[in-house]
Amino acid sequence: MSFRNFAIGLTVSFGLAWFSVVVLPFFKLRELSPVSFEEGVDPKSGIYFPKTTGRVVDGARVYAENGCYQCHTQVARPTYAGNDLKRDGFAGLKADPDRGDTRRESNPFDYVGLDFAQIGVTRNGPDLINLGRRLRATYGDEADEHLYRHLYDPRLDPAVASWSNCPSMKFLFEKKEIQGQVSDAALDVAVEDGFQIVPGPAAKALVSYLLSLQHDDVVPSSMNYAPVVPGNDG
Amino acid sequence: MATLENDQDTILRASIDRSLRHPVMFFFTSGAAWLAVAILLGIISSAKVHSPGFLDSCPWMTYGRVTAAHQTALVYGWGCQAAFGMAIWLMARLSRQTCRNAGVILTAGHVWNLALSLGVIGILAGAGTGMPWMEMPSFAWMPMLLSYIAIVVGSMVQFKVRPEGHTYISQWYLMAALIWFPWFFGSAHLLVHGFSGSPLGAAGVNAWFRSAMLLMLFAPVGIAMAYYLVPKVLGRPVYNYSLSLIGFWSLAIIAPWAGMQKLTGVPIPNFLPYLGAFAAILFAVPAAMAGINLLKTATTDLATVNESPTLRFTVWGLIFLLIFGLASVLLNLPSVMRITQFTISGYGYDVLGVYGFFSFIAFGAIYFIVPRITRREWLSRRLIKSHFFLSLYAVFGIALVAIFGGLMQGVGQETFTSAWEDAADRVVPYAVMTTVSWCFLLVSNFFFFVHLTLMWLRLGRRSSHPTLLVEPHHHDPHGPEGDIDNAGPAVH
Amino acid sequence: MVEPDFSAYPMQDPHKPDLDDSLNVTESHDRLVREAAAVAREKRVNDGGREPVSLWLFAASAVILIAAGLALGKAGNFFDYDEYVQPGYMRDNLNEGGDEGPPPVDALKGYMAKGEKVYGKCIGCHGPDGKGGGAYPSLAGSQWVLGETDRLAMIILNGLQGPTSTGKTYGVMPAQGIGMSPTDLASVMTYIRNAFGNTKGDVVTVAMATEGIKISEGRAKAGQPLTKEELDADHAKDLPGDPLDPAAKVDPVTLNPVEEGK
């Protein structure tokens, strides 16, 4: 084998794969063409393009910096790739009072606005792509209070205390002296007299981000893979 | 036999070793130090999986950061530096050229260390990027890439001016790794840090990059080193030359396509993850070819394999290569993938590749190379044996336990009628076993560090005989042992 | 006797020769062994073996290739960057192995519950009590609300201008049909016919509402608000469709009829 043949062989074998599997998809996924709802078929009209707010991007950064992706994923896989959709709460709600079964697969628009889709590495903890939805369905207006307490110390969260190995993120919170009245934002956790625990700015951003994780909205029919049920007319 | 040709070879080899002694010793000792750091961080991280209260008051030690720092130190601190040390030494030896820019390489190595240290501190301080195996803040990758180029450019020149005649198989593997690494490392980091607005695209590039580190850096360098050590120490030819070439080209064709299988079910173009799984499964073919080629060579003289520390580690590294190939097949079958995709199996697979396969071969190489560049022999048979056995148990305890545990965890996850608590509880026993195994690894590598440090301080044995893993009163293949004196003048 | 050529090894300092340059081969060899013992005993490395390769290796490679093919088979169309799921993918039934969802309810109650929610956008003009508060027409006791369903559907979908059933003119009612599904239309019609004191007692079914949307789109002046003249001329009839027993059971979410015993 001469060096010339080696170099050609290596360049072609690597370059072909690098271009078609790395470079091209990266740039194609950068320009998502918006999908429209079809008149008469879909209950909604217009273009399907959810947006994210600036606060959410800050929260996503706190999520990345503290390595939450090591134990939590954010994707609802189609049924040929896993049972995510069948588990109530992961991909949507099984019995939403308004819309019934809202569960759906993740689509590319669920990650718009972030620089890195936190798909995740393992599921030591539950999937989070619909965390906001799940929490609001269970706790209503107290969802953020519940989430703050969970982040402060998961062992204080009655829903998971007996089994959760999620780390305590106490460093995202601040211990402040109570001045006059206890603050509205104070957590309902044990703390020495005269002090209260309030969320720091990172905790607020993180909770804002986590509660925004709700991706079970109605999608255009071209992205709707639900089996057709007779009598269902949208 | 005192033939002139042998002596000329000896003189050449000795001058090559002498020219490289500073950079190679630096990479091995610095790599070993990073391995110590990685193991300590690995113990802390693994403990937190089953005991979250451990060290929970320190934000720098929160699980997410510590795990990222552990993997970074293991891969870029130990793995990459061991690879650099092996690659520059091996390329110089096989190209029969001394090293002419040892000072540049040494400086570049220190730059790598500096960038890496700042990167790891950045991760622990909470400035990580959140991308697995690419968590170092964005300032780190460019200095590391530049220092890499400074480290390997000399080797590429040596290859270019190598003597006419046969190019050894290891040289092809090394050249491939030396060309691949900057290409995939540079482009992956450039895409991810330089272009925003493609969240799923960046996730895809990251997944491909992780596979590229295993299959296009550690695999070829490890295999190259094994192709040198086994025939060298045994004095026998490699089993079959054509098999070597087929193995090399099958790796070159298959490896660049793997990686996307980590994103099965994610809303990216559907063919990407399955093409990745196809390539990841096919990786078992070049792994089997290299592994079996060399293991067949080793079976021609098992007595030497048993006695030589180099060969014991190298042969076990090749066995782990075969197991790694088998794991590649099993974990990437679609029916298994849906169960193990988001479990600790992925971690076990990575450790099998980085520690079981690559690190064992690196230890074999270190046990071979260090006596040659320090002109001393290893001090203690027992230290080497302890290092070997404890590492062996630990790799089984981490890699195979995690792969199996991930299967159990995945079954719990897929059973959607039970609460999540069931899936979460299933991980705990495997996590405990992993923590214990990391502790084994700390002890085993403690022996290694001590031994390596003593060699670095030129306190090794002055002997004409290597330190073999045999009892002293057994038949010594080298004849009666003589004492040597390297400190005296060579010419009177 | 040949002297080794050291010019190729510039790292060597000639004043402190690292290795021997003696003319005596045996002496220099001994020196080499003494000083670079490990290197001296090395053998030449050889990768040129020609042992026969076992067929088992190729058999194993074939098995691996077949296994890899299992994965590749799921890839669908290669290099189709626009297809994000497997071609022809249809979700599995998500409810097997678990329970069936919310229990069925009486048809009239189910339709009215949904209709009440849809009515939320009508409250602004027609009021929470349906009486309009003087500035807008009252739905309570209205002849058009309680009358033929085709006419009522047209008004809701297209809006109205000019006088109402009472002869009074209130301005223009804007069309509500954009994005309104047949389920929404059927439920809000059922609701207003059975609330605010109205007690029509029947259900406008989803099938009827679908027909109504078709009729509305087929109008000569489709998209424009109707007038009393057009309503009296073209739409003084009920929507076609089978009636639904108000006490039959339906799924509260989809309003699909549910078989008894489920």
Query: Which CATH number belongs to the domain containing residue A65 in this structure?
Result: 1.10.760.10
Question: Among A8-22, A30-44, C178-192, which stretch is predicted with the lowest mean pLDDT?
Answer: A30-44
Q: Which residue of C has its CA nearest to B99?
A: C11
Q: Which of B261, B465, B222 lies closest to B354 in space, CA to CA?
A: B222
CA dist A75 to A123, B245, B473, Å? 11, 41, 63
**For position C4, what pLDDT does the model report?**
55
Distance, in Å, from the CA atom of A220 to the CA atom of A34, rounded to the nearest integer, reads 11
Segment B413-463, tens digit of pLDDT: 999 989 999 999 999 999 999 999 999 999 999 999 999 999 999 898 888
Quote the crossing angle between the two packed helices B360-374 and B4-50, to the nearest 10°: 140
CA-based torsion, B474, B476, B482, B486: positive or negative? negative
* Residue B492 pLDDT > 50: no
How close C214 gets to chain A, by Cα (Å)? 10
**Pick from B269, B333, B466: CB nearest C84:** B269
**Pick from C84, C206, C251: CB nearest A233:** C206
Give chain B positions within 8 Å (CB) of A128: none
**B230: Cβ contacts below 8 Å, ≥ 6 apart:** B238, B294, B297, B298, B311, B314, B315, B318
| A133 part of a folded domain | yes
- Looking at the structure, do residues A106 and A123 belong to the same domain, yes or no? yes
**A217: Cβ contacts below 8 Å, ≥ 6 apart:** A50, A102
Put simply, the answer to whether A225 touches C183 (Cβ < 8 Å) is no
**B392: Cβ contacts below 8 Å, ≥ 6 apart:** B316
Segment A162-179, tens digit of pLDDT: 899 999 999 999 999 988
- Looking at the structure, do residues A108 and A217 belong to the same domain, yes or no? yes
Distance, in Å, from the CA atom of B407 to the CA atom of B338, rounded to the nearest integer, reads 10
Q: Which of B244, B264, B153, B136 lies closest to B192 in space, CA to CA?
A: B136
| A187 part of a folded domain | no
- Looking at the structure, do residues A105 and A118 belong to the same domain, yes or no? yes
Q: Do the beta carbons of residue B238 and residue B166 sit within 8 Å?
A: no
Q: State the best of C70, C85, C89, C94 to mutate against chain A, taking most chain A CBs within 10 Å.
A: C94
**Could you give the ipTM of this predicted complex?**
0.94
* Residue C215 pLDDT > 70: yes
Amino acid making up residue B280: A
Q: Which of B353, B316, B250 lies closest to C58 in space, CA to CA?
A: B250
Mean pLDDT over the full length of chain A: 89
Segment B198-220, tens digit of pLDDT: 999 999 999 999 999 999 999 99
Q: Is C62 on the interface with B (CB under 8 A)?
A: no
How close A204 gets to chain B, by Cα (Å)? 16
How many residue pairs from chains A and B have C-beta atoms closer than 8 A? Answer: 220
Burial, B150: exposed, middle or buried (Cβ in 10 Å; 0-12, 13-18, 19+)?
middle
**For position C30, what pLDDT does the model report?**
78
* Residue C159 pLDDT > 50: yes
| Secondary structure (DSSP) of C141-205 | T-HHHHS-HHHHHHHHHH-EEEE-TTS-EEEEEPP--TT--HHHHHHHHHHHHHSTT--------
Segment (H or E) for A195: strand A195-199
**Pick from B48, B257, B420: CB nearest A21:** B257
- Looking at the structure, do residues A90 and A113 belong to the same domain, yes or no? yes
Rounded mean pLDDT, B237-265: 96
Query: Of how many residues is chain B composed?
Result: 492
- Taking residue B432's Cβ as centre, other Cβ atoms within 10 Å add up to 16
Segment A54-92, tens digit of pLDDT: 678 899 999 999 999 999 999 999 999 999 999 989 999
- Looking at the structure, do residues A69 and A121 belong to the same domain, yes or no? yes
Put simply, the answer to whether B2 touches C36 (Cβ < 8 Å) is no
**For position B490, what pLDDT does the model report?**
40
Put simply, the answer to whether A1 touches B245 (Cβ < 8 Å) is yes
Query: B11-456: which CATH topology?
Result: Cytochrome C Oxidase; Chain A (1.20.210)
pTM greater than 0.95 (yes/no):
no
**A201: Cβ contacts below 8 Å, ≥ 6 apart:** none
CA-based torsion, B78, B79, B80, B86: positive or negative? positive
Mean pLDDT over the full length of chain B: 93
Q: In B405-430, which positions are buried (b, 16+ CB within 10 angstroms) versus exposed (e)?
A: bbbbbbebbeebeeebeebbebbbeb
Q: Which range of residues forms the domain containing residue A133?
A: 53-151+201-223
Percent of chain C with pLDDT over 70: 86
Q: Do the beta carbons of residue A219 and residue A106 sit within 8 Å?
A: no
Q: Which residue of C has its CA nearest to A24?
A: C81
Rounded mean pLDDT, B474-481: 59
| A95 part of a folded domain | yes
Put simply, the answer to whether B281 touches C35 (Cβ < 8 Å) is no
- Looking at the structure, do residues A39 and A58 belong to the same domain, yes or no? no
Q: Which residue of B has its CA nearest to A68?
A: B64
Q: Do the beta carbons of residue B209 and residue B182 sit within 8 Å?
A: no
Q: State the best of B1, B11, B282 to mutate against chain C, taking most chain C CBs within 10 Å.
A: B11
* Residue B489 pLDDT > 80: no
- Looking at the structure, do residues A97 and A211 belong to the same domain, yes or no? yes
Q: Do the beta carbons of residue B126 and residue A61 sit within 8 Å?
A: no
Distance, in Å, from the CA atom of A164 to the CA atom of B330, rounded to the nearest integer, reads 30
* Residue A153 pLDDT > 90: yes
pLDDT category at C14 given cuts 50, 70, 90 is low
CA dist B118 to A41, B135, B149, B192, Å? 56, 12, 20, 20
**Helix segments in B257-307, DSSP class H:** 271-282, 284-298, 302-307
- Looking at the structure, do residues A95 and A23 belong to the same domain, yes or no? no
Segment B270-303, tens digit of pLDDT: 999 999 999 999 999 999 999 999 999 999 999 9
Put simply, the answer to whether B371 touches C38 (Cβ < 8 Å) is yes
Give chain C positions within 8 Å (CB) of A80: 74, 86, 89
At C136 the three-state DSSP class reads: strand
| A31 part of a folded domain | yes
**For position B488, what pLDDT does the model report?**
42
Segment (H or E) for A48: strand A47-48
Give chain A positions within 8 Å (CB) of C256: 229, 231-232
Segment C93-131, tens digit of pLDDT: 887 655 555 677 888 888 888 888 888 888 888 888 888
The domains found in chain C, sorted by start residue, are 105-250 (1.10.760.10)
- Looking at the structure, do residues A100 and A61 belong to the same domain, yes or no? yes
Q: Is B14 on the interface with C (CB under 8 A)?
A: yes
Distance, in Å, from the CA atom of A223 to the CA atom of C9, rounded to the nearest integer, reads 69
At C5 the three-state DSSP class reads: coil
| A90 part of a folded domain | yes
- Looking at the structure, do residues A66 and A17 belong to the same domain, yes or no? no
Q: State the best of B164, B209, B332, B342 to mutate against chain A, taking most chain A CBs within 10 Å.
A: B342
How many domains is chain A built from?
2
Distance, in Å, from the CA atom of A231 to the CA atom of C210, rounded to the nearest integer, reads 11
Give chain A positions within 8 Å (CB) of C102: 95, 97, 100
